Structure 1
């Protein structure tokens, strides 16, 4: 026996499968045997068994032991409601089917609230499923609720007593690794900017200049290594690469803040990439700010690892204020290149400031006073939990949400199956719906792929069960002894070997248990096989008729929509920046988006461009909200897509690269708008505003052109209008001219110059990300 056990423990997730099988056997069979033979209450025994099995075999409950126990206890009242509803609605097939649709949809859709609710969806559906079938016996409701209570309480108790398999790495630790990696990248970039070009002053100093050049090359090589390490660490925090139980997808304050920390750190890395590609130095002020930025990022990493906010550190905020003041003093004689470089350095530091604040909010720190204003970067921190949950649920109430599609598809399949079972009067009809829950996938191809091995496994299990019933007959002692063995072996080895083995084990278990409640029936295995065929066929039909491509059909549309909304936001945010605080709407009506005369005449007039132009008209009040909502829907589709295609070898499109322009728009635009709402700068002069709007229009056109790469799956690779060198940037030349004309250096004028530079750096950064999408498509071709 040690050989097979050793083999199982060496398999991927083998220990976890063995633990869950033991958990199901002990929790489920203890209550079943105690109530069936100790109290002679077969009805209670059945519900005790089905109170435990959904939680042990069909659900994923994340978290430490104490948290899991609280979750199980919270499931108990929900289970009472569902069993009561199923018992009362079983009077008619139509009422049971309506209830099945509501329960199936609600349990699945609540998964948008995070892995804790999503992992319990199958359990909630099964708690309603069993009592909603005949016999209609409301007088037995107390027995059913008593059995369910025993099963759930035993599940919680046994879970605390069993050993736990190694848990997945918490998301906060993965995020801390990414923050630390970006901090290292930031520090090496700062050293490069401190030393870059130091050898040029040596001129013809010969060996001294050569030595300085060697030092700069070494610093650049180190920065490039740190750049790759930061990229890999951030890739490890993608939701599609994180264990489902650890994904920060709920509406809790911690998950929302961790999500924002990753967005801020990703923004920092994007700015560092630009600095590494075009840094010119030496620049002691920028190098010092980058050094303080790296220290602040390391502090945020410590908060994430420890799970405690700790004391607030304002060193980066002080350094950032000093840097802004230094930029104002250095405006006389400033170049376009230095204006853009300083804006990028400042954007990196501001992103790190937000990352540190988000990390502290995630672990209970109150929102700092500097962020407590309308339009601030952490609006959810001031909301109560119900408001946060409602916003998350409302976001996915759209046909474009893959989570809503999944919920509707499953609910429809379960309701139709319940009607068919009632119309045909199938015995043990709940097995039909059980098959749908266990075999139905999020795409037609996935469901069809799961069905043949399942039918094969059920057929093998049914044949073996029929032989057992014929040979053993009415011998309860055999079934009592055999059930634990089949539980342990079948549900530990079966998942390792595949779907066919799991379904064979499930068939044997069900026959063994029902033989102890009802007189053994040799026709029961054939009924089980028929029910699986019917349930699998209904699930396959539902998958084929409702969103058959799964996330694959929605992902491309969602990513394109995100890119289009990001392009729109480039223009609406720029209009808001060009106006004085609070005057966005007036400027929108004044321009009426009649700036088409400034647009390149070579822009293709596609339907995408027309729709984008139309949708930008009324967004100035909150220009980033549409892009942010589109981003969340695209990320949900991408996460499901990666789950559907896990383990496949074929290359997939670079979806993360395609979404990067939108990410940059949301993060960078949000930082600029936050500064603008604080009243930094008056309304821009008309010439500067026109140049910035023209640049925004050009960048938006490039982003829209890049969407054609995604829309055509790489078949259409357009030409972009870039690149965007600083020396040729019209807004930067305008800013330099204003800085040189204003020798007095008044604060308002300096703020205007810096605002032009910051907005220009943000827009050209978005254009740089759009160009990467096209370059990757060209390389793939």
Structure 2
């Protein structure tokens, strides 16, 4: 075997360049800025705040975007940092006032992170800007020096970031989404040719698999944190809706591919036009410049609606459903095209400007969008609110303990609490041992250096940038223990340049790390210890319940039996909470023997309920067509069956996950036994020929207008599609429970569904 040297090994690491740039950025902006102020201007306090103005931004922040966008975010941190340093300085007079202020600051900056990565990525830096001055000595007379040093550090950090080469950049979400749209366009094109009469069995299967894989790449949990479109901005909201529409299109194409529906030139034409529209939308996403609103597909759908209504008497229930699914595919494509335009900053097309439209955020102000986002997560069941409260309580408690014990350099204890506490107790425990070992090793090295060198400033001036560069360029590649060791040595050699050298300083650092880490561990065990794993099950089941309510509410609204509040609003809110829990869940490490529950599959009925329901409600508002009274009765009965299926699926999600969490195998009696294959059950219970709603429409073609009968078919197709996906969820969870009972299949979540494996 060929032996690989350290340099060759380093070059082989995919993240080596990224960590190297970050280390160089911190060495120039942090260590360099500290040295300029400390030795150029002989200002100790300013130098320390210049250092801590830079290092949190470099080491503890995730700054989204690139180029001037990053610079604007860094510059926007300056006024917030000045306010926080001022507050920390003034509240440091008493431990209780410092702790109360810390709770408010920690909670506020963390919770505001629900608005997007711009604020969320800087939350740790903002907390540290308050932490540093809120410890003794209480010295409000030095406030000017502190603010001056912080301003210099932040400005110098922004300047260095602009001057350094950008390094490897993550793939943008727009690019990932554009590639997925092209792949689904190929899928639609293949289904168009099949519907026109071509025999393309193998090609359709390949396109279906490719579309599922492409959709996997657009999940937020698989996207770099700085590129996730999670802010409340118009562009990010539009990207999320574009992805939701794409998933709905893929789901409809899966329904068409699942069984032969015969040939039809008009349906094939809609699928072909949908594929062309998808490719145009992909170009808009890639190019970043919005074109005119989609008109070609819109005109084709209008013509298809007319064609569908001409000869309803000779149309079989099966073909009624096929045409409804094809029409839903085209409608979702129009949604996607408009979402792509909005994501480029285009104004909302007039056709979508109606009450209850699918883009309500496009007609309100930016502050209103922010307030809506904050209000959605203002619930104990939001993992984002839980994280904000957990961190605020832990930091405030740590500040009280540090003040009561009168710990020297107590800031280090809170820094440890902040940096080691995770969103679950198990992840926090996993971070503690490497931190303790790394700090102990770093303290031992630092003690030896201080004892051997003594008070020789020139040595510490020379060694500080070397320690920082090597430690933070290589340490993250070797593991968290090495990073903690590098941080410990770096802090000791820096403080040796501010205060007289003390051989006890490394030991104090180790003691503070143990105390701070223990406080963080206790807080994680007491406050929502299971993290997203505990909340995701409830959120997914609640989404299924709200979807069940949405099926009935939309059906009744289409029959004009209800009015008032938007019928899908509870389902949309539940979907947002479930998505946040799932995204966090993917960042947490799975405990040993954790079953692989298909969480994304569990949320698919909710996505179909919302996407399809919005299309139907929009068409109802635009055309004024309502369901006939007799059809409402049939469809309401169908909606109740689908709602019952969703409620049963929600209970399956709750029960089986809870049973596995207690370590029980997948055996037993009653409702927990393995049911017949869900796909077969869905096909038997909701076959087009057996659908009472479609039979009613086929038997009474002359009793109602064409638009009314077509609306019956479209609502029926929407409801049975939801039922089909609910059956897939039950099958996925049953299979996961079976694997758990046989001791196989642990991990972060697998399964298959309409859009590919759910991982």
TM-score above 0.5: yes
More displaced stretch, 565-574 vs 705-714: 705-714
Counterparts of 1:591-670 in structure 2, within 5 Å, are 621-645=565-589, 652-670=596-614
More displaced stretch, 151-160 vs 308-317: 308-317
Structure 2 match to 1:391: 372
Structure 1 match to 2:21: 19
Counterparts of 1:238-637 in structure 2, within 5 Å, are 238-579=219-560, 583-585=561-563, 621-637=565-581
The alpha carbon displacement at 1:510 in A equals 0.6
Q: Is the 8 A contact 1:584 1:621 kept in 2?
A: no
More displaced stretch, 647-656 vs 723-732: 647-656
Structure 2 match to 1:710: 653
Q: Is the 8 A contact 2:294 2:334 kept in 1?
A: no
Q: Is the 8 A contact 1:627 1:666 kept in 2?
A: yes
More displaced stretch, 5-14 vs 343-352: 5-14
Q: Is the 8 A contact 2:16 2:473 kept in 1?
A: yes
More displaced stretch, 570-579 vs 482-491: 570-579
Q: Deviations over 1:55-107 (max 9, x none)?
A: 01111112112111111111111110000000001011111001100111111
Structure 2 match to 1:735: 697
Structure 2 match to 1:94: 96
Q: Find the aligned partners of 1:60 and 1:173 in 2 and give their Cα distance.
A: 20
Q: Is the 8 A contact 1:474 1:519 kept in 2?
A: yes
Q: Is the 8 A contact 2:192 2:268 kept in 1?
A: yes
> Of residues 178, 190, 193 in structure 1, which corresponds to 2:192?
190
> Of residues 139, 142, 146 in structure 1, which corresponds to 2:141?
139
Gaps of 5+ in 1: 196-214, 586-619, 743-747
Q: Find the aligned partners of 2:112 and 2:333 in 1 and give their Cα distance.
A: 33
Structure 2 match to 1:224: 205
> Of residues 713, 717, 727 in structure 2, which corresponds to 1:757?
713
The alpha carbon displacement at 1:526 in A equals 0.9
Q: Secondary structure at the match of 2:171?
A: coil
Structure 2 match to 1:80: 82
More displaced stretch, 84-93 vs 768-777: 768-777
Q: Secondary structure at the match of 1:431?
A: helix
The alpha carbon displacement at 1:3 in A equals 5.5
Number of aligned positions between the proteins: 715
More displaced stretch, 418-427 vs 675-684: 675-684
Q: Find the aligned partners of 1:735 and 1:461 in 2 and give their Cα distance.
A: 77
Q: Deviations over 1:602-660 (max 9, x none)?
A: xxxxxxxxxxxxxxxxxx62110111100010010000000113899976211111111
The alpha carbon displacement at 1:114 in A equals 1.1
Q: Secondary structure at the match of 2:700?
A: helix
Q: Is the 8 A contact 1:708 1:718 kept in 2?
A: no
Classify 1:51/1:5 alpha carbon distance in 2 versus 1 (closer, same or farther; 3 Å). Answer: farther
The alpha carbon displacement at 1:122 in A equals 0.7
The alpha carbon displacement at 1:331 in A equals 1.2
Q: Secondary structure at the match of 1:570?
A: helix
Q: Find the aligned partners of 1:373 and 1:622 in 2 and give their Cα distance.
A: 13
Gaps of 5+ in 2: 658-665, 667-671, 739-759
Structure 2 match to 1:725: 687
Kindly report the root-mean-square deviation, in angstroms, between the aligned alpha carbons of the 2 structures. 1.6
Classify 1:237/1:158 alpha carbon distance in 2 versus 1 (closer, same or farther; 3 Å). Answer: same
Classify 1:426/1:279 alpha carbon distance in 2 versus 1 (closer, same or farther; 3 Å). Answer: same
Structure 2 match to 1:129: 131
Alignment partner of 1:172 is 2:116? no
State the TM-score, normalized to the length of structure 1.
0.90
Q: Find the aligned partners of 1:18 and 1:377 in 2 and give their Cα distance.
A: 45
Q: Find the aligned partners of 1:242 and 1:691 in 2 and give their Cα distance.
A: 44
State the TM-score, normalized to the length of structure 2.
0.92
> Of residues 751, 771, 775 in structure 1, which corresponds to 2:727?
771
> Of residues 118, 140, 161 in structure 2, which corresponds to 1:116?
118
Q: Deviations over 1:318-346 (max 9, x none)?
A: 00000001011121211111111110000
